[in-house]
Chain A
Amino acid sequence: MSQSIVKFENISKKYGSTLAISDVNLEVEAGEFVFLVGPSGAGKSTLLRLVAKEYAPSSGKILVFDKDIADIKSGQLPFYRRKLGFVFQDFKLLDDRTVFENVAIALEVRGHSDVEIVKEVEKILKLFEIWPKRNLFPNQLSGGEAQRTAIARAIIGKPDILLADEPTGDLDPQTSWGVIQLLNEINSWGTTVLMATHNVEIVNTLKRRVISVRDGKIIRDKKEGKYEIH
């Protein structure tokens, strides 16, 4: 029996008077690949940000690794975040750092030695086939290369959960498939992947668990689902 890694219990989230998430109950098992689909403003990104503890829910309880994340003190938050990886639509790479430095920063903040960092970064950049681009800056990369760099940065710390917020949103279909294959491979290593997306083709082809969100509510949750938002 698989273990629950993320659990939402009656979660609601308000931004001022706007209700972004309304009474959501959700359980994700360790090692799952879950698509969050829905129209813009449905609440997909908010769900991911709640897991990251970027926001606190207005009501309800979020359990990650069987612990209520509301109990995580600010001093412990960095250690919690080190168990998560983040990938964004706009990559969020640092413009004044090279590919190598952008990936290395994830290990720098954890206090790894320079020798360890060089070894680990080289390993992952070679695995993701961007080692030849290691000395280039983000504005010298294609969209696919930038997203590969961002994913490398997200997983170099070996997170248990990867949160991907529309990672293919700015990419052409062919490049999007390359990124998805990468995420699929990461999932095969045992990392739980939660991915918010609008990409119908990818969702329908991969046949993974699909959670449809609309107006802050989960309207459908299917194990081998399709892109359905109505």
Chain B
Amino acid sequence: MKQFNNLYIYMRVFNYVGKNIRRTPYQALAATMIMFLTFLTLLMFLLVALGSQKILQYFESKPQVIAFFKDNTTQQDVDLIENSLNQTGKVKSLRYISKEEAFQIYKDLNSAQPEMYEVVTSNMLPSSLEVSTNTLTDLNYINDVLSKEPAVRSVGFPKDVVQNVLESTSLVRWVGGIIVGFLIVFSVLIILMIIGFKIRIKRNEIEIMRLLGASTWFVRAPFIWEGITYATVGAATAWIGSYIVIWYFTPFLQPKLSEIPGILPVSPLIMLQLLLVVLTSAMIIGFIGSFSAVRRYLK
């Protein structure tokens, strides 16, 4: 019997939440819209962060430092350099390109213009070593190591591109993190204010319910669930909004990012994972905001 009573109490709590929301629709709308804005920003930031991560991975998968050898370099010299690079622990892959292979690559690149390679022989092109590092931040170190090798004539290192990618992703993370952090705090405070306001205007009702023998939980739970409802509804609509934004912009962005695999179109699995992330975050934000209000105003 007690279990049934508990069930009725739970059902009644959700019934009260529905009534509270219906009776103050403008406050409910304002709270949900703030949550929508917060979670839309969060989702956009997460999508940009995931995209920039893919771009980083793409650059990291490419040979990023190319050491061009002097003509008299022997295979033993190359082996020694490869060993010393492997010992740094920063190298993901190494690929030696002989003069003949370099000539073949040159020919392939200029296949449409035979006059470009008719006068060129394999001897004219240097052999080289292509190095990929584990992270882009290791590139400077590898560049320094290779530059000091006597067998190396020059080192090709797209320093500006790497620097730009690193700075951009770092900026995205910092600015996005600060904006999202600010919006999360703002959302918690908005929920705290709205629920606090509702507690104040329902003071009479709360007093009566307590005198009638309502448990502390029964009095508090509808307010807490109300805050959670605003946050989760806001998060869910923001997720739908972000999906629409992605769907709209994918045809424009896809050709520009076609070189980078796995970035567009965004996988539905990733979107589902993001939905889980924002719904969980929303429940936490809603709970913190409304619980703080209940603790503060319902003593």
Residues of A within 8 A of B (CB): 52, 54, 74-75, 78-82, 86, 92, 94, 96, 105-106, 108-114, 153, 157
User: C-beta contact mask, B171-215 vs A, less than 8 Å → 1, else 0?
Assistant: 000000000000000000000000000000000110111111111
User: C-beta contact mask, B1-33 vs A, less than 8 Å → 1, else 0?
Assistant: 000111011001000000000010000000000
Write the nearest CB–CB distance from B4 to chain A, whole angstroms. 7
* Inter-subunit contact B12/A108 (CB<8 Å): yes
Complex Cα gap A92–B208 (Å)? 7
Q: List the A residue with the shortest CB-CB distance to B1.
A: A111
* Inter-subunit contact A113/B210 (CB<8 Å): no
Contacts of A110 in B (CB 8 A): 5, 213
Complex Cα gap A112–B6 (Å)? 9
Q: Is B168 an interface residue (CB 8 A)?
A: no
Complex Cα gap A109–B16 (Å)? 11
* Besides the known contacts A81-B211, A111-B5, A112-B8, 6 further A-B residue pairs in the complex with CB atoms under 8 A apart: A78-B214, A81-B212, A86-B212, A94-B208, A109-B214, A114-B8
* Inter-subunit contact A94/B205 (CB<8 Å): yes
Interface of A is mostly: loop
Q: State whether A75 and B208 are in contact (beta carbons under 8 Å apart), knowing that A111-B5, A111-B9 are contacts in the complex.
A: no
A-B contact count (CB 8 A): 56
Most buried by B among A52, A78, A86, A153: A78
Q: Is B216 an interface residue (CB 8 A)?
A: yes
Interface size class of B (residues with CB under 8 A): 20 to 34
* Inter-subunit contact B208/A78 (CB<8 Å): no
Write the nearest CB–CB distance from B14 to chain A, whole angstroms. 13
Q: Is B218 an interface residue (CB 8 A)?
A: yes
* Inter-subunit contact A113/B211 (CB<8 Å): no
Contacts of B207 in A (CB 8 A): 92
Contacts of A74 in B (CB 8 A): 216
Write the nearest CB–CB distance from B267 to chain A, whole angstroms. 46
* Inter-subunit contact A78/B215 (CB<8 Å): yes
Contacts of B9 in A (CB 8 A): 111
Residues of B within 8 A of A (CB): 4-6, 8-9, 12, 23, 204-205, 207-216, 218
Q: List the B residue with the shortest CB-CB distance to A83.
A: B213
Complex Cα gap A33–B9 (Å)? 34
Complex Cα gap A217–B213 (Å)? 30
Write the nearest CB–CB distance from B166 to chain A, whole angstroms. 57
CB < 8 Å: which of A105, A111, A113 contacts B212? A105
Write the nearest CB–CB distance from B235 to chain A, whole angstroms. 29
Q: List the B residue with the shortest CB-CB distance to A109.
A: B214
Q: List the B residue with the shortest CB-CB distance to A86.
A: B211
Write the nearest CB–CB distance from A5 to chain B, whole angstroms. 18
CB < 8 Å: which of B23, B209, B216 contacts A105? B209
Contacts of A108 in B (CB 8 A): 12
Q: State whether A113 and B216 are in contact (beta carbons under 8 Å apart), knowing that A86-B211, A92-B208 are contacts in the complex.
A: no
Write the nearest CB–CB distance from B288 to chain A, whole angstroms. 23
Q: State whether A82 and B213 are in contact (beta carbons under 8 Å apart), knowing that A109-B218, A111-B8 are contacts in the complex.
A: yes
Complex Cα gap A82–B215 (Å)? 10
Q: State whether A112 and B5 are in contact (beta carbons under 8 Å apart), knowing that A74-B216, A94-B204 are contacts in the complex.
A: yes
Contacts of B6 in A (CB 8 A): 111
Q: List the B residue with the shortest CB-CB distance to A153.
A: B212
Write the nearest CB–CB distance from B18 to chain A, whole angstroms. 14
Contacts of A105 in B (CB 8 A): 208-209, 212
Q: List the A residue with the shortest CB-CB distance to B207.
A: A92
Q: List the B residue with the shortest CB-CB distance to A102.
A: B208
Contacts of B5 in A (CB 8 A): 110-112
Write the nearest CB–CB distance from A56 to chain B, whole angstroms. 15
